A and B are shown apart, each in its own frame.
Chain A
Amino acid sequence: MLFPTQFDVIVVGGGHAGTEAALAAARMERKTLLLTHNIETLGQMSCNPAIGGIGKGHLVKEIDALGGAMAAATDEGGIQFRILNSSKGPAVRATRAQADRLLYKQAIRRRLENQPNLWLFQQAVDDFTLAGDQITGVVTQLGLHFEARAVVLTAGTFLAGLVHVGQSSYQAGRAGDPPAISLAHRLRELNLPSGRLKTGTPPRIDGRSLDYSVMTEQPGDDPAPVFSYLGSASQHPQQVSCWISYTNERTHDIIRNGLDRSPLYTGVIEGVGPRYCPSIEDKIMRFADKDTHQIFVEPEGLTTHEIYPNGISTSLPFDVQYALVRSMKGFENAHITRPGYAIEYDYFDPRGLKSSLETKSIKGLFFAGQINGTTGYEEAAAQGLLAGINAGLSAAEKEAWSPSRDQAYLGVMVDDLITRGVSEPYRMFTSRAEYRLLLREDNADLRLTEIGRELGVVDDERWARFSAKRDAVAQEKERLKSTWVNPRMVDIASAERVLGQAMEREYSLLDLLRRPQVGYQSLLTLPGAGEGVSDPQVAEQVEIQAKYQGYIERQQEEIERHHHYEALRLPPDMDYSRVHGLSIEVKQKLAQHKPETLGQAARISGVTPAAISLLLVYLKRMQGRMERKSA
């Protein structure tokens, strides 16, 4: 049956990528359909119940700055909040929260159900419909045909998913869900380059069977940090602690003795797992000299006793899991509620995507999330948001948008994915960002909210709050710059208290704030400093901008220097074999990956600066020919 309503955008999948994509397209006032095989699992956290962390928290703030749901839902569902790296500088600080699975899911579900222009529908998608190389819609399990000119596919680990526990394996999406087999077949027929990855989870445990008295408590920060620029700590539900325990030599012996039945070590698992999130058997084999490993005992929620023992992800047989869990301190009587497992799944080589996340081969088809070889809720959600925005733009036949590497972690991630591909599940780290000092959690709104407003994903409330903050920051900076204090106004005691030394001449307040040891609040106590701002977000921003100014300017110069030709577009049908002087290897790489811009081409491994020069010359020649033809 052809569904009577025509949509602008169809989003397939209701995980973190799918929900952000659907919400974004709907905020842009595109008629949007979210198709999921199960409405009950919309916004489900299938792995550990935590949002944020280093690099990831940065992504969440960027999602928030663009009007996305993840930060706000975490503020409503978070049961333990911490700022990581709080003793280090603002650029590397990041927010992390434990979330109550149910509360988080509810927060996402409520947003989806109340979002204008968004329809939800429960059906697994089996097929696409195409007209030439343009997507026209999707077909569900029941044979329902939905039409749209833009489709965002966020199939997660569902594509040909294979779950392993010990020597037994079965086809599945993620624990408890069916895999999307026919869709995987259909996509394989489209001949998109694909590969196979692996990820895993630990066994879950009934918290009542644990002895917390022998573990180390890890409480949240007080006062509790807030994720969304619009959020407040008053939205947080009851706060609880995490706990830390350790593996020991006995645990390691148990694991070593079970390795002959490990799917990982007997070659059953072919997919590549992430190096930064190794299974416990991997840790013990690769780091044999380490006699103990840290285990974080994370509560899954306020209304459940289940806990998530973060650090013992495993695909060992259940009897080994049982013994290894019980060998740990405080876990002697642990009751496992769900066995740990590893899952292998298909991903598509993201080098087949444009920076808009549209596939290069099929117009109107966008991929977002784990299907692109990434891991993590935050990475998925950020891609979903971008794909949703671009699906919305494409449905209105507008030009695509994607942030640059100096603008957002989202830009770093997408550029990494499409120019370098993945060799393991891709996770965000701050070390991936060349311009780390510019891409901070505290200024994600200043970097992105204005663009988000133009794109139509930022609503009036956020825009008003943002504009007020932006103006207040500018105003206060101006005030500090034009307010001067001198040794006559400032007595020596005050100077020593605030500045650590006497003042030798006149300074502007902004100059003083640049000094590493001078904080904003203490600066305001100087005689003659005047009335400051009370909004902590504004005060923080003023202080950081002052302290970072030298570095920020330097990075901005570097950006300008490096980006002459960054945005120069390469025609998608460019025949690289005709570019004189390019090596065969470079020709092949460029032809295979079809970079969209010269900047992207330069980041493909093996493409040399000389090759970029040759491309420039070739482009120029082509341009000359075109001009002569049209003349």
Chain B
Amino acid sequence: MASADTIAAVATAPGRGGIGVVRISGHGLEALARTLLGKPLRPRLASLSNFLEHDGSVIDQGIALYFPAPHSFTGEDVLELQGHGGSAVMQRLLKRCLALGARLAEPGEFTRRAFLNDKLDLAQAESVADLIDAASEEAAKSAVRSLQGEFSLAVHGVVERLIELRMLVEACIDFPDEDVDFLQAADALGKLSHVQAQLNQLLAKAKQGSLLREGVHVVLVGQPNVGKSSLLNQLAGDEVAIVTAIAGTTRDTVREEIEIQGVPFHIIDTAGLRDTACEVEQIGIARTWAAVEKATLVLLLLDSREGITPQDEAILARLPPKLPVVQVFNKIDLLPRKAGIEQDAGVTRIFVSAKSGAGLDLLRQNLLQMGGWEQTGEGAFMARERHLRALEQARASLENAAENWLQLEFFAEELKLAQNALNSITGEFGADDLLGEIFSRFCIGK
């Protein structure tokens, strides 16, 4: 009863625990471990390892444990990676495992495999059943939760158009003797690019999952004396904050990255945005402006005692006009002023002290909220992660379809794969349903 495929999941409870565990179970994990850790592992021996990205960069450092089959929890090869608990790190690590060939475990699947491989005794059987039952119910609930509202509408919109296109393609294949050329009559390629555009839009909108991957781009405006770095350090707090200054190709383009509750924030420092004749600098400045285009909000850092300076005003005037601005008044400890938040006319003012930490929680919440991050349980996030993967699979299949336009059976195959991917979000749409669509739309048959 052995399963051939490898599964992976974050095994620790969601939240901001100090340690997070990604667990992987399957056959022949040695090779996966070697790629991921860059070194071979000895069975059942805790080993301090770097967890490596595909390009060799380090995702995290932690403890790796390898239990070869059958002496493991599931009875298969099991690899446990204990890293730092931030959800962003765990998600990156999980994603890396998926890229290495594992798939996301179904709810209760580790336990199920343990049971099927005789790792649990019969007395535990009923509880395993309960667990699968409960887990699938939980998964279903979270799927329903994340499927409410606009996201769901948008997915269904894409699916409907995809079905429409598939209907034409399949009718063309299965009913060549009809007197209409379904595809030519209906501009199939135009329809495909429409579906693609719609799907891309949807993917762009499906922010929640991609926030963790891509992070929030923030334009930082502020003079050097307002306490920028201490504030950023404070914001990152006790999270696995990696505060690094990544020097760009020129000395004046600086991007800083911090994490707030696992969400990466890319801070684009505008200090370098000034008029210059230096060619090298101009290149750097052009890059910074390009990054500004992607930004979701502006963080304006001020010294409470001074307020907005003319330099700040000049830069603000050049930013895209619709970007929401958060004005952060630092150094309130030097004034008789309490931490707090004021909002009016699209401008948010938050009063903080980087030194005392006052108001920083407010600021964190506000940044997360403005960045589009909604705090929900891990279960709901997993469901969304699944959805995003499905959407991305569908996107890849549609791209293949566009490339294979000239060979109709390949075109049809890719469209079907796209639909299969989306089926995992919207539910089964089988051959019978598709035929039903064809027959209700076209007068077919002799």
Contacts and interface: CB of A to CB of B under 8 A. Distances in A.
Interface stretch (A289-297, A338-346, A502-510): A289-297
Contact of A617 (B132, B179, B408, B444): B132
Contacts, number: 129
Contacts of A580: 126, 129-130, 133
A89 B410 contact: yes
Interface string A429-444: 1111100110000000
Given A516-B406, A560-B4, A621 B125 contact: yes
A132 interface: no
Interface stretch (A272-280, A391-399, A445-453): A272-280
Contact of A92 (B1, B116, B173, B432): B173
A239 interface: no
B317 interface: no
Contacts of A89: 407-410
Contacts of B179: 294
A91 B126 CA distance: 47
A465 to B, nearest CB: 28
Contacts of B412: 92, 436
B446 A610 contact: no
A436 B409 contact: yes
A179 interface: no
B443 interface: yes
Given A48-B446, A276-B445, A613 B108 contact: yes
Contacts of A276: 435, 439, 444-445
Contact of A88 (B5, B136, B170, B409): B409
B428 to A, nearest CB: 8
Indicate the member of A89, A431, A436 with the most B CB atoms within 10 Å: A431
A54 interface: yes
B177 interface: yes
Interface in A49-93: 53-55, 84-85, 88-89, 91-92
B129 A54 contact: no
B106 A609 contact: yes
B3 to A, nearest CB: 5
B4 A564 contact: yes
A48 B445 CA distance: 13
A551 interface: yes
Indicate the member of A429, A432, A560, A564 with the most B CB atoms within 10 Å: A429
Contacts of A616: 1, 112, 116
A20 to B, nearest CB: 24
B373 interface: no
A92 B408 CA distance: 9
B175 interface: yes
A286 to B, nearest CB: 7
Interface string A604-623: 00001110011011101100
Nearest to B442: A287
Interface in A170-217: none
B446 A296 contact: yes
B3 A564 contact: yes
A420 interface: yes
A621 B113 CA distance: 13
B439 to A, nearest CB: 4
A618 B128 CA distance: 10
B115 interface: yes
Contact residues on B (Cβ < 8 Å of other chain), bracket:
35 or more
**B interface: dominant SS:** helix
Interface in B1-25: 1, 3-5
Given A85-B173, A420-B432, A620-B116, A310 B133 contact: no
A581 interface: yes
Contact residues on A (Cβ < 8 Å of other chain), bracket:
35 or more
Indicate the member of A48, A92, A560 with the most B CB atoms within 10 Å: A92
Given A88-B173, A276-B439, A560-B4, A310 B446 contact: yes
Contacts of A88: 173, 176, 407-409
Interface string B102-140: 000011100010011000001001101110110010000
Nearest to A276: B445
A610 B129 CA distance: 10
A516 B407 contact: yes
B431 interface: yes
Nearest to B2: A564
A437 B413 CA distance: 8
B179 to A, nearest CB: 4
Given A560-B4, A617-B115, A624-B122, A581 B129 contact: yes
Indicate the member of B125, B130, B440 with the most A CB atoms within 10 Å: B125
A297 to B, nearest CB: 11
A437 B404 CA distance: 14
Contact of A551 (B176, B413, B434): B413
Interface in B31-87: none
B149 to A, nearest CB: 24
B174 interface: yes
A54 B115 contact: no
Contacts of B170: 429, 431
Given A275-B439, A276-B439, A283-B443, A85 B176 contact: yes
A250 to B, nearest CB: 18
B178 interface: yes
B132 A92 contact: no
Given A85-B176, A89-B410, A431-B435, A621 B446 contact: no
Nearest to A610: B136
A373 interface: no
B173 A54 contact: yes
A431 B435 CA distance: 8
Contacts of B125: 617, 620-621
A173 B201 CA distance: 58
A160 B214 CA distance: 67
A129 B90 CA distance: 68
Nearest to B132: A613
Contact of A311 (B112, B175, B446): B446
A440 B167 CA distance: 21
A585 to B, nearest CB: 14
B144 to A, nearest CB: 14
A84 B408 contact: no
B129 A437 contact: no
Interface in A396-433: 420, 429-433
Interface in B304-325: none
A92 B129 contact: no
Nearest to B108: A613
A276 B431 CA distance: 14
B409 A92 contact: yes
Nearest to A85: B176
A577 to B, nearest CB: 14
A325 B377 CA distance: 68
A561 interface: yes
Contacts of B132: 581, 610, 613-614, 617
Contact of B413 (A55, A274, A311, A436): A436
A565 B5 CA distance: 12
For the complex of A and B, 3 pairs with smallest distance between CB atoms: A610-B136, A275-B439, A581-B133
Given A608-B136, A618-B129, 17 more contacts: A89-B410, A275-B436, A275-B445, A276-B439, A278-B443, A290-B443, A429-B435, A430-B174, A431-B173, A431-B434, A565-B1, A580-B130, A610-B136, A614-B132, A617-B116, A617-B125, A621-B125
12 contacts: A53-B177, A54-B174, A55-B174, A551-B413, A564-B4, A565-B1, A610-B107, A610-B136, A614-B132, A617-B112, A620-B115, A620-B125
